[in-house]
Every structure is written in C-alpha cells, then in structure tokens.
C-alpha cells in the first residue's frame, strides 16, 4: 500500500499477473482484401487471411464464424483501436475507416469514422480509437470497415489491425 | 493501492537545431527529473535516451504524439517495438503527416524489448515535439 510521502518512482508496483484480469483481443490482416467502390465492407479476420495477436477470453473472436467481430464478453468500459492501411489512388472521392459498436439486445449500431482525403497517391494509414460502455449486453461487438467512396475499388492491406480492451470494470453503483 | 508500470517521455528540441532526425530514433532531450515514470528502470537518460523499456511481460498500451515541420513529404511516422529475443522490430502503428497521434495495444513477451519512434524524415527548424508513453494494462 502506497502512503503519503512514498516515492512512486521506486519499483513498488503490481507485478502479480493474477490481479490484472485482462479482457483484450487483437487481430491483424495477413493478406489484402478488396472493397468495391460505393461500398462499406467490414474487414474479416479469419483463417487464411488474418492472425490473432492475442486473445485473453476465448469468446472474444473466432477465426471461423463472424470473423469480423471482436466481442466484449464482459460488462465494463472498453476501448477499441484500429489501423487500416489502404492502397494508393484514392482519386477524386473519399474513403473512411469506420469502427462500429453493435449491441444485440436491443439491436443497435453506433459508428465512428475517420476520413482519408481525396487525391492521395501513396498508400495511407487510417487510425481510429473509440471508447464505449457495455452496461449489460456482453454480446456487444466491434467491427472495423472501409467505407469506399473513392470512385475505384480499394484494398485494405495486410498489417491492418483491430483491437479491443476492457479498461475498467463496472460497479453496481455505476448502473 | 498498486501502481501500474507506466512512463512518459517528452522530446524538447534544443534551440536552433536545424534537423532533429532522419530515419533514426530521436534522442530524447529531457532535463533531469522531468520524466514521469512509476518504474525507474523504464527509461535511462544516459544510455538509451530514445528508448522506452517495458521490462515486464504483459499487455501494454503505447501512445505517441509527433509534430514537426518537414522539408517535403510524405513522411511515415511509425511507433515501433524492438525485441531482442527473437531479434526483430515490428511496426505497431503508422501514419503519414507532419503531425500524428499513434496508439496501439501490444503483448510484450521479451523483458529486454523496447519501444521507440521513427519519424521517417528530417524536420526543419527547431519546431519539433514528441511524446512517447507506455502503460501496462494486463
């Protein structure tokens, strides 16, 4: 227990793995995937096209079913992060990285997006972070998508990734 | 109350610096005692000034901010993790531009690994700033 006057730059911190109780998962594309023009397509992370970097709760992701989803599996406060590497030639239109948070009961989806400007001639990276609360529905899940309004088909390149992490538990008094 | 390991570094360029960095990691110019760390081995100003060492196996939330005028572009800013065993460097997050916010969650299995920044190109003048932080989250 730290007390007033303790020097916090010493090594007096938690090293016990059992106290962390991490709920987190990260998946990364290993191949490119094409998204047609005028389409918003979620990015799949399945066998043969992606890898699970880590997964602390088995139900957070499947490499076979609904592979585009990261499932919260717990109540709490969560942070979803995504990075999308999009190929060249955006053209005169635009492209967006979209993080969607979907609840199953009631069924609803809330989207957050970042914008890749028109006229890019080099491959570009889109980054986005989203914080949200899961009060009751542990089946709430997160996806990332490319909304392609570029006028041409685009590639979501290998190395694009999506991660989900619980950053805080909820107390009964919070609900 | 337990204190999770975390550390933040600030880059303060010296006045009149013509070019802060090329493709190599910047050297953190940090006045003594101004780094913020709960673990005094995560950063060594003298011997590894551009690196942030997590030192523990676990899950880490890593973040960086960058700003600096560039002579031309685009330059690719990259948040990197280098491991000693196995010997490898991986890109955790990337973005083009003169300013950038980078973040990634990563599992670190190598206690000798370290985080660092690659600016991808030289800055002009002395107006270059950066922060790098890491916090254990699991």
Query: Model confidence over A3-43: pLDDT tens digits?
Result: 444 444 433 344 444 467 899 999 999 999 999 999 999 99
A61-65, A92-96, A134-138, B76-80 — which one is most confidently predicted on average? Answer: A61-65
Q: Give how far B130 is from chain A: nearest CA, Å.
A: 18
| Candidates A2, A24, A125; nearest CB to B59 | A24
User: Can you give the three-state secondary structure of A47-93, one letter per residue?
Assistant: CCCEEEEEECCHHHCCCCCCCCCEECCCCEEEEEEEEEEECCCCCCC
Q: What's the ipTM? A: 0.79
B103 neighbourhood in chain A, CB within 8 Å: 81, 127, 129
Per-residue pLDDT of chain B in tens (138 residues, 90 and over written 9): 455 666 666 554 433 233 344 444 445 554 444 454 554 455 554 455 567 888 888 899 998 887 766 666 667 888 999 999 999 999 999 988 777 889 999 999 998 898 887 777 665 555 566 777 888 888
Q: Are strands A76-86 and A124-134 parallel, antiparallel or unpaired?
A: antiparallel
CA atoms within 13 A on the CB side of A75: 9
Q: What are phi and psi of A116, to 5 degrees?
A: -100, 120
| Candidates B3, B93, B106; nearest CB to A14 | B3
In this structure, is residue B102 part of a structural domain? yes
Question: If you ran DSSP here, which 8-state letter would residue A44 be given?
Answer: P
| Candidates B3, B94, B103; nearest CB to A13 | B3
CATH code (residue A133): 2.60.120.1120
User: What's the confidence (pLDDT) of residue A80?
Assistant: 97
Interface residue A127 vs chain B (CB under 8 A): yes
CA atoms within 13 A on the CB side of B99: 2
Query: Model confidence over A141-157: pLDDT tens digits?
Result: 999 999 998 888 889 99
Say whether A9 and B59 touch across the interface (CB within 8 A). Answer: no
In this structure, is residue A17 part of a structural domain? no
Say whether A9 and B96 touch across the interface (CB within 8 A). Answer: no
Please state the domain count of chain A: 1
Interface residue B137 vs chain A (CB under 8 A): yes
Cα(B121)–Cα(B70) distance, rounded to whole angstroms? 8
In this structure, is residue A14 part of a structural domain? no
In this structure, is residue A16 part of a structural domain? no
Containing structural domain, residue B121: 16-28+50-136
Containing structural domain, residue A126: 22-174
Please state the domain count of chain B: 1
User: What's the confidence (pLDDT) of residue B1?
Assistant: 42
8 A C-beta contact, residue A113 and residue A98: yes
In this structure, is residue B112 part of a structural domain? yes
User: What's the confidence (pLDDT) of residue A144?
Assistant: 97
Cα(B37)–Cα(B35) distance, rounded to whole angstroms? 6
In this structure, is residue B39 part of a structural domain? no
Interface residue B73 vs chain A (CB under 8 A): no
Interface residue B72 vs chain A (CB under 8 A): no
Note which residues in 65-104 of chain A have CB less than 8 A from chain B. Answer: 81, 83, 85
Q: Look up residue A145 and give its two tokens.
A: 């998508």
Among A128, A125, A139, A159, CA closest to A45 = A159
Q: Which of B1, B3, B136 to mutate to test the interface with A (most CBs of A within 10 A)?
A: B3
Least confident interval from A6-10, A68-72, A111-115, B101-105: A6-10
User: What's the confidence (pLDDT) of residue A119?
Assistant: 53
Say whether B137 and A165 touch across the interface (CB within 8 A). Answer: yes
Greater confidence (A78 vs A14) lies with: A78
User: What's the confidence (pLDDT) of residue B118?
Assistant: 77
CATH code (residue B80): 2.60.120.40
Say whether A81 and B103 touch across the interface (CB within 8 A). Answer: yes
Cα A68 to Cα A20, A41, A73, B18, distances in angstroms:
27, 10, 15, 46
Q: Which of A15, A56, A79, A125 to mutate to test the interface with B (most CBs of B within 10 A)?
A: A125
């Amino acid at each position: 227990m730290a007390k007033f006057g303790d020097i916090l730059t010493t090594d007096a911190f938690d090293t016990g793995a059992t106290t962390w109780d991490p709920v987190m998962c990260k998946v990364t594309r290993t191949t490119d995937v094409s998204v047609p023009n005028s389409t918003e397509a979620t990015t799949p992370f399945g066998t043969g096209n992606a890898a699970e970097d880590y997964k602390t709760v088995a139900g957070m992701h499947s490499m076979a079913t609904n592979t585009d989803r990261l499932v919260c599996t717990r109540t709490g406060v969560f942070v979803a992060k995504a990075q999308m590497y999009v190929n060249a030639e955006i053209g005169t239109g635009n492209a967006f990285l979209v993080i969607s948070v979907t609840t199953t009961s009631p069924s609803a989806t809330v989207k957050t997006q970042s914008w890749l400007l028109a006229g890019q001639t080099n491959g570009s990276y889109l980054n986005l972070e989203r914080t949200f609360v899961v009060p009751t529905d542990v089946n709430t899940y997160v996806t990332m998508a490319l909304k392609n309004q570029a006028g041409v088909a685009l590639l979501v390149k290998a190395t694009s990734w999506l991660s989900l992490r619980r950053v805080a538990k909820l107390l009964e008094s919070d609900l | 109350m337990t204190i999770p390991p975390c550390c933040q570094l600030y880059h303060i360029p010296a006045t009149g610096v013509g070019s802060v960095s090329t493709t190599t990691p910047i050297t953190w110019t940090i006045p003594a005692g101004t780094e913020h760390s709960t673990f005094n081995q995560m950063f060594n100003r003298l011997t590894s000034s551009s690196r942030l060492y997590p030192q523990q196996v676990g899950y880490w939330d890593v973040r960086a901010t960058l700003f600096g005028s560039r002579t031309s572009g685009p330059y690719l800013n990259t948040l990197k993790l280098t491991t000693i065993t196995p010997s490898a460097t991986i890109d955790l997050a990337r973005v083009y531009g003169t300013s950038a916010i980078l973040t990634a969650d990563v599992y670190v299995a190598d206690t000798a690994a370290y985080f660092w920044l690659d600016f991808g190109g030289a800055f002009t003048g002395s107006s270059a700033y950066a922060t790098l932080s890491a916090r254990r989250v699991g």
